[in-house]
Amino acid sequence: MSMQGARFTPLARLLHWLMAAMILIMLFVGIGMVSSTTERYRYLVALHRPLGILILILAVVRLTNRVLNPPPPLPASLPKVQQMAATVSHLLLYALMFIMPLLGWAMLSAAPYPIDLFGTLELPAILSPDAALYAKLRALHTDFALLFYAVILVHLGAALTHSWIRRDGVFRSMAGGRRSPTP
Amino acid sequence: MQPGDTQRPLSLLALLARLAAIGAILCAAAALFVYIGGWLSPDRRTQDRFMTAFEAHDGKHPGFRRNHAKGLCVTGWFDAAGEAASLSKAAIFHLQRVPIVGRFALAGGMPFAADEAGTVRSMALRFLPIGAQEWRTGMNDIPVFAVNSNEGFYEQLQASAPDPATGKPDPKSMKDFVDRHPETVRAMQLIKARSISSGFADDTYNSLDAFYLTNSSGVTVPARWSAVAVQPFVADDAGAHVGAGKNYLFDDLLKQLGSHALKWRLVFTIGEAGDSTRDATLAWPKDRRQVFAGTVTIARAMSEENGACNDINYDPTVLPDGIAPSDDPLLAARSSVYARSFTLRSAEKSKKPASAVSPLAIGGSAP
């Protein structure tokens, strides 16, 4: 079947797996640093800020690539409910890739904390100092991080279901490696 | 079968095994997240547990800093002397009139406690050079810290918290703490032996933690710093402030700032091989090289309500390039705990009562 062999472009696959690793590291660094008071805290914070900005930049590249190269459609055999669930979860994942770094940047601006990346490289504030607003953004940053991780787990569960149970080529369309010979 | 699915259908057993594997992977991933977040480690000294310990120690005071709760805001400027420019490439060390937003405070989490001569006093400064990286520092008027790790910090807080039954710290917990922390016993001797000045103005404030200074050639040296009062030291005279009111230290500072600016010399002490950077309970030898970095001038005071210091977290790790944290674990402890305190009090802003040193005490002077 024609749909069966369709895959994401190599750039889309590269961005997917690279960002998957970065976002997972980011979420673990984030949840680890806000509960830590040891020296680990400083290293995690110093990693969290530049990694977050890098994810934001890659999210722009990724969205652009997705618009230019639409992904292969899901198999027609997939029930409508699951098609919708896939669309909603993908929308959420894309939205959070943008929202999380922007929220982080905005909350540091409102605090106000300097947004150091490395050396003397600093990002400008995107909000005026406002402690009450900072507190709200800071709480949202955590709430959305938990939502992000939950959606990632749903996405992972769905991917594994496609790969191990449905075996419908959806997982393969994003998996790395060479294209398997068409039967 | 899916159209085009060339694989054989799964047996019921295989299907169940695969579903179980997926479930196990998802559970493990969720558990890892929960573990890293500290929820499965009741003994981990998390930021939230520090907040709980402060609350047990000092009570609930919404909107206030969890430590150094009683204070007022000041503004002024920094004039570099130029001598520190050879030690650190930070722009601030060759600039003039760098604006400062500072805060004087008393240690402890009770924002309405009466001023006492022996309470540790602090000076926090935020240097805001135009077009260059800012610098924040929180300094105390003691020669060394009482603890040297986040563990010591936490345990001291717990041991000195009042027992709900008696309203007083439990002597046994304090003894257990002291037995396990000989560094605190040594440090407390130095702290108790310090000379106590008459007030905030003639006091000297120390970074206590060590940092690294790096110059433009890439040479790095360990350093601690002090804001040394230019105002002559006058020893505390217990008789002089009898009946002077519960804010006498702050009132006195306000009175002085009402008539003249106050100055401090910012002095770096350069560590040598063998001087501990990671133990803030240990003093460095007296003969260490001292470098005069410049003069801090404090010109005006404002209450926290009107001042620019209230919504600032004086995180000692907010540093310009050219000053870096050392391996002192207290820096991470302070940074992380201050951050949590700042987040909580920012969320409680609408519930905060007026600070002890109110705008009225300052004669209604507008910021």
- Residue B344 Ramachandran class (φ > 0 left, ψ -120 to 50 alpha, else beta): alpha
Structure confidence at residue B294 (pLDDT) = 98
**Residue A3 predicted with pLDDT over 70:** no
Q: With 60 as the cut, is the pLDDT of residue A38 above it?
A: yes
A70: which residues sit within 8 A by CB, 6+ positions away?
A: none
Residue A10's pLDDT band (cuts 50, 70, 90): very high
- In 3D, which of B145, B144, B143, B237 has the Cα closest to residue B199? B237
Contacts of A36 in chain B (CB under 8 A): 38, 46-47, 332, 336
Work out the pLDDT band at B360, boundaries 50, 70, 90. low
Contact flag A116-B50 (C-beta cutoff 8 Å): no
**Nearest C-alpha of chain B: how many angstroms from A85?**
18
Q: What percent of chain B has pLDDT over 70?
A: 96
Residue A44 has pLDDT above 60, yes or no: yes
Comparing B205 with B359, the larger pLDDT belongs to B205
**CA closest to A107 among chain B residues:** B343
Query: How much is the pLDDT for A83?
Result: 94
pLDDT surpassing 80 at residue A176: no
Interface test with A, best of B2, B10, B279 (most A CBs within 10 A): B2
- Answer whether B48 sits within 8 Å of A35, measured CB to CB: yes
> Do the Cβ atoms of A38 and B10 come within 8 Å?
no
Going by pLDDT thresholds of 50, 70 and 90, the confidence category of residue B244 is: confident
Amino acid at B145: F
Nearest CA in chain B to A110: B311
Confidence label for A177 from pLDDT (cuts 50, 70 and 90): low
Percent of chain A with pLDDT over 90: 86
Where does residue A115 rank: exposed (0-12), middle (13-18), buried (19+ CB within 10 A)?
buried
B313: nearest CB among A27, A111, A122: A111
User: What are the CA-CA distances from residue B45 to residues A19, A98, B54, B157, B345 (Å)?
Assistant: 31, 32, 13, 12, 20
* Interchain pair B26, A156: CB under 8 A: yes
Residue B3, pLDDT score: 46
Kindly tell me if the per-residue pLDDT of A1 is higher than 70.
no
B57 is catalytic: no
- Residue A120's pLDDT is 83
Residue A182 has pLDDT above 50, yes or no: no
Angular region, B59: left φ>0, alpha ψ -120 to 50, beta rest: left
Whether B333 and A119 lie within 8 Å, measured CB to CB? no
**What average pLDDT is seen over chain B?**
94
State the smallest CA–CA distance between residue A10 and chain B in angstroms.
Answer: 24
Nearest to B336 among A36, A134, A164 (CB): A36
**Alpha-carbon distance A72 to nearest alpha carbon in chain B (angstroms):** 16
**DSSP result, chain A:** -TGGG----HHHHHHHHHHHHHHHHHHHHHHHHTT--STHHHHHHHHHHHHHHHHHHHHHHHHHHHHHSPPPPPPTTS-HHHHHHHHHHHHHHHHHHHHHHHHHHHHHHHTT--EEEETTEEEPPSS---HHHHHHHHHHHHHHHHHHHHHHHHHHHHHHIIIIII--SHHHHH--SPPPPP-
pLDDT value for A179: 55
- pLDDT: which is higher, B196 or B361: B196
Domain ranges across chain A: 3-174
Alpha helices by DSSP H, B72-217: 150-159, 171-180, 182-192
Query: Are B229 and B200 a contacting pair, CB within 8 Å?
Result: no
Average pLDDT over residues B216-220: 97
**Average pLDDT over every residue of B217-226:** 98
pLDDT, tens digit, 9 for 90 and up, residues B128-181? 999 999 999 999 999 999 999 999 999 999 999 999 888 899 999 999 999 999
Helix B150-159 × helix B47-58 angle, to 10°: 30
User: Which of B306 and B330 is assigned the larger pLDDT?
Assistant: B330
- pLDDT category at A89 given cuts 50, 70, 90 is very high
pLDDT at A4: 54
Q: Supply the CATH classification number for the domain A3-174.
A: 1.20.950.20
Instruction: Please judge whether B22 and A166 are an interchain contact, meaning their C-beta atoms are less than 8 angstroms apart.
Output: no
CB contact under 8 A, B47 and A111: no
Q: What percent of chain B has pLDDT over 90?
A: 89
**Which residues in chain B are contacts of A40 at CB distance < 8 A?**
332
Q: How far apart are CA B69 and CA B107, in angstroms?
A: 7
List the beta strands (DSSP E) in B90-143. Answer: 98-106, 121-127, 135-140
* pTM, 2 dp: 0.93
CA distance B158 to chain A (A): 16
* Residue B162 and residue B168 in contact, taking contact as beta carbons nearer than 8 Å: yes
pLDDT in the model for residue B239: 86
Interface test with A, best of B1, B8, B22 (most A CBs within 10 A): B22
Do residue B25 and residue A156 have CB atoms under 8 angstroms apart?
yes
Per residue in B223-242, pLDDT (tens digit) is 999 999 999 999 999 888 88
pLDDT at A14 over 50: yes
Q: Is the pLDDT of residue B2 over 70?
A: no
Compare CB distances from A37 to B320, B325, B336 and report the shortest one's residue. B336
Asked if A141 and A110 touch (Cβ cutoff 8 Å), the reply is no
Count of other CB atoms within 10 angstroms of residue A177: 7
Q: What is the pLDDT of residue B243?
A: 84
pLDDT tens per residue, range B104-136: 999 999 999 999 999 999 999 999 999 999 999
Confidence of residue A6 (pLDDT cuts 50, 70, 90): confident
Share of residues in chain A with pLDDT > 70 (%): 93
- What pLDDT, in 10s, does the model give residues B279-327? 999 999 999 999 999 999 999 999 998 889 999 999 999 999 999 999 9
Q: What is the mean pLDDT of residues B343-362?
A: 88
* Residue among B57, B61, B68, B241 flagged as catalytic: B68
pLDDT class of B363 with cuts at 50, 70, 90: low
Confidence (pLDDT) at B172? 93
User: In the prediction, which pLDDT does B83 show?
Assistant: 92
